[in-house]
Amino acid sequence: MCGILAILRSSVDPAELRRKALALSCKQRHRGPDWSGVCVQNYDTASGKVLNILAHERLAIVDPHNGAQPLYDESGNVALTVNGEIWNHRELREHLVPQKFATESDCEPIVYLYKKYGDEFVDRLDGIFAFCISDSTNNTFLAARDPIGVCSMYVGWGRDGSIWFASEMKALIEDCENYQEFPPGHYWSSKTNEFRRWYNPKWFDEHIPSTPLDLTVLRESLEKSVVKRLMTDVPYGVLLSGGLDSSLVASIVTRHAAKRTEDNEKSAAWWPRVHSYSIGLPNSPDLKAAKEVSEYLGTVHHSFHFTVQEGLDALSDVIYHLETYDVTTIRASTPMFFLSRKIKAMGVKMVLSGEGADEVFGGYLYFHKAPTPAKFHVETCHKIKALSKYDCLRANKSTAAWGVEAREPFLDREFLDVAMAIDPSEKMIRKSEGRIEKYILRKAFDTPENPYLPHHILYRQKEQFSDGVGYGWIDSLKAHAESLVSEEQMKNAAYRFPYNTPVSKEAYYYRTIFQKHFPSSAAAQTVPGGPSIACSTPAAIEWEAAWKNQADPSGRAIADVHTSTQ
């Protein structure tokens, strides 16, 4: 992941603003330690001088030799700063013939798509991205974010009337009167000065689908999604928890690692050995399962441990990088933060991960309680829409903290079109019939003639990452917060934190750390409120009366469903 910063329509002195932009962009350098770039565009208007600045911190994965940013058109008038990967960039280049390109960067076609189609080109991109284009020919700009929000992005409004875009909130908090998350699947154009949703699949409006289940189509769609994400010119790996989702991704990767994605698997890959990575407390469920999967698949496996004390010591750093105080996100991000540091130390810049499968297929344990297929489907829609605030935020920022990029095949745009069109009655969990959570995903890859995984791994029950690294991790977090937060503080929590008031000592503790790093009310409001159990929407709370007063977001809170593996 790269780091982007755009300051547009500013009236601040150019020299001063350039110094400011460089300093603020530096706050995001952990996202892109390989190179830095800046573009300054000055305008004289009737109202005075106006300045646009685009800054970029690069993590070089595709065309590391020539893909430095900002990227420009041949005239130098259109400048682009982007954090992302465009999977269909080869097809886009062919579409733009006879345009000559200056680099092999997968992001350069964005510049020329904008020139050819204007603001409406974003829907042509198949990828993950957050970008800003500044066009000096008419002093206009365009910013956009990928469909689900895999790449993080914020928008802010400066005191001088400027508008700002950045990969992380920390680049905006000093100079913006207000700021918020840039909504996924939207673009912002200076021509309209408003957000417009460009991503409009049927499922997004909670249309109840009825497409019959085809296991072959489902399997082939996910396989295609994984292969897309092998686009790289640098060493890569796979995150392997030993659960269904990451294990399937790892299995597919091993089947395609020997050939190069960039030429449709016609030539040998640059990095054919597949390395897998896992982390946990000693004797954690995930470490045991990951080792078994890696041995089955033949990956070069790296298993790491962390201690509870190391996790507690890192909480302030984790919250600073995450820019959230959500309990579940912090619990799961801490081991991922550690693992990303280990991965970077081994010279790897990109990893594939399993985020998104639970949202798409209703894999969380509370989906056992879904009363109807329609309500099951609507809840999956709500979960996917919220990913940018939870699991995508965790995966993006935990890895980017150490200059590593995470790619999530289950959130591929084309795969979502397939998976979210399936009749939701096929996704319902019916234990009496042997249909456990994510049953159709498991069945799609249950191919005895050419098995992807051992049968018991393919049908292993869901463990939330924060549980799977070792149950002692969550229990220790609760105990630590219990020792630091008093009953008096909890009694008065609403006075100190009137927005999104914490309801547990653990939540209160994280909130105090967050406030030290990000003291403004605008920062607090970038974190969603609502139920803090293992489900995230008020609608799902209605499925089970016992959940109304449940403050523990662990998957183990669904006590009559979860089966302990420790």
Name the H helices within 66-206.
Answer: 89-95, 109-117
CA–CA gap between residue 504 and residue 495 (Å, rounded): 15
Q: Is 106 annotated among the ligand-binding residues?
A: yes
For residue 459, count CB atoms less than 10 angstroms from its CB and return exposed for 0-12, middle for 13-18, buried for 19 or more: middle
Backbone angles phi, psi at 276, to 5 degrees: -120, 155
Coil, helix or strand for 267? coil
Tokens 């249909």, residue?
435
Is there a catalytic annotation at residue 392? no
Domains of the chain (ranges, CATH numbers): 3-200 (3.60.20.10), 204-557 (3.40.50.620)
pLDDT tens for the chain, 566 residues long, are 899 999 999 988 888 999 999 999 999 999 999 999 999 997 766 556 778 999 999 999 999 998 899 999 999 999 999 999 999 999 999 999 999 999 999 999 999 999 999 999 999 999 999 999 999 998 899 999 999 999 999 999 998 899 999 999 999 999 999 999 999 999 999 999 999 999 999 999 999 999 999 999 999 999 999 999 999 999 999 999 999 999 999 999 999 999 888 888 889 998 889 999 999 998 888 898 999 999 999 999 999 999 999 999 999 999 999 999 999 999 999 999 999 999 999 999 999 999 999 999 999 988 999 999 999 999 999 999 999 999 999 999 999 999 999 999 999 999 999 999 999 999 999 988 989 999 999 999 999 999 999 999 999 876 655 455 767 899 999 999 999 999 999 999 999 999 999 999 999 999 999 999 999 999 999 999 865 444 557 778 788 776 766 666 555 555 556 555 54
Q: Is 354 annotated among the ligand-binding residues?
A: yes
CA 122 to chain CA centroid, Å, is 19
Which of 2, 107, 176, 381 is an active site residue? 2
Backbone angles phi, psi at 187, to 5 degrees: -130, 160
List C-alpha distances in Å: 128 to 2, 153, 380: 12, 12, 21
Contact 352, 409 (CB under 8 A): yes
Residues near 97 by Cβ (< 8 Å), separated by ≥ 6? none
Amino acid at 467: D
Q: Is 279 annotated among the ligand-binding residues?
A: yes
Q: What is the pTM (predicted TM-score) of this model?
A: 0.94
Q: Is 63 annotated among the ligand-binding residues?
A: no
Tokens 């041995």, residue?
295
Tokens 């330690």, residue?
33
